Amino acid sequence: VRYNLMVNPTGKEGHWRGADWVEEANNMFAKHDFGGNGVNFTKERVIEESPLVDIYRSCHHNIERNFHINGLTQRHAKPNLKLTFAVLAAYFKEHGLHTHQTGRQAAYTISDKIDDGI
C-alpha cells in the first residue's frame, strides 16, 4: 500500500510522484543542502533540520522568483544579472521611480544620522 501513494509536490497538473520519491528527495535535501558541514554535519543536526526542509526550499524559491534568478541559487551558475536588471529597469520605467514627482510620499523615512547627532 505504501508504494501506491501518490503526491503532487509542485501542484501542477500531471506532476504526480510516488510518496517514496518525495521522501527520498527530502532526505537528500536534508543531508546534502541543509545538513551543515564540518562539526555541524551530525546525525542530530540532520534530524533537527529535516522538518524545516520544505520551509528552506520555499524560501529559496521565493528569492529566485522575486529576484528573477530562477534556478541559480541551487546550481551556482556564473553571475548573469541581465534579466534581473531588465525587470528592474522596466519596473522603474513603469512607476517612474527615477524621476521627481511632486507630492509623492515614501512609506518610510530615513533620518540623516549626522543631523541627528549620532
pLDDT at 61: 78
Q: Which residues of the chain have pLDDT under 70?
A: 1-5, 9, 18-23, 26, 28-37, 39-41, 43, 45-47, 70-78, 118
Task: Please give the biggest Cα pair distance in the chain.
Answer: 70
Q: How many angstroms separate the CA atoms of 20 and 25, rounded?
A: 9
pTM, full prediction:
0.37
pLDDT at 77: 61
* Residue whose C-alpha is closest to residue 50's, from 32, 68, 76, 70: 32
Residues across the chain: 118
pLDDT at 1: 44
Is the CB of residue 53 less than 8 Å from the CB of residue 29?
yes
